[in-house]
């Protein structure tokens, strides 16, 4: 068992339009015993969410077709119980629009570039949340 992660295999939806980053994160997460489904934008992600309830949703905020904030709001309407399972990844912390959205969302925030151990640790925190728990998860922001 990897540090901070439950021993059972869990399903992760990973949304990022940077295919190289997405593929790298997928490989690293699969090496940590996760099953990872990739989506390159919110439209694809919404299709996946309609098919199954993921244990964690790792979501980039800046994507074509449907960005991460719009994807989150769509999920909030169709499957609100998934909103506490979000981990947002972004290189745009400090952008007023991004910061305003992140203040209202239930998910954790990781700033790019992402350290895999920060991602795995944050995934473990999402898994360990009790149903209905709404307090914010810690954010990892570069300074």
pTM across the whole model:
0.85
Q: Map residue 81 onto helix, strand or coil.
A: helix
Check: CB of residue 62 under 8 Å from CB of residue 90: yes
Distances (CA, A) of 68 to 8, 9, 13, 91, 137: 28, 25, 13, 13, 18
Task: Supply the pLDDT for residue 138.
Answer: 53
Domain 11-126 fold: Rossmann fold (3.40.50)
CA distances (Å), origin 49, targets 28, 37, 52: 22, 10, 5
So where are the chain's domains? Answer: 11-126
What pLDDT score was predicted for residue 132? 55
Q: How does pLDDT run across 53-65, given as a tens digit for each residue?
A: 999 999 999 998 9
Q: Give the pLDDT band of residue 45 (cuts 50, 70, 90).
A: very high
């Amino acid at each position: 068992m990897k540090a901070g992660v439950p021993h059972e295999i869990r399903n992760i939806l990973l949304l990022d339009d940077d295919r190289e980053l997405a593929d790298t994160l997928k490989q690293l997460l699969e090496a940590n015993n996760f099953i990872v489904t990739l989506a390159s934008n919110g439209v694809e992600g919404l299709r996946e969410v309609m098919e199954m309830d993921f244990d964690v949703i790792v979501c980039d905020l800046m994507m074509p077709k449907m960005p991460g904030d719009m994807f989150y709001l769509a999920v909030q309407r169709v499957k609100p119980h998934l909103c506490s399972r979000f981990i947002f990844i972004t290189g745009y912390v400090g952008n007023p629009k991004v910061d305003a959205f992140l203040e209202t969302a239930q998910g954790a925030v990781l700033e790019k570039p992402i350290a895999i151990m920060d991602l795995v640790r944050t995934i473990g925190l999402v898994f360990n949340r009790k149903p209905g728990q709404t307090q914010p998860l810690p954010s990892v922001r570069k300074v």
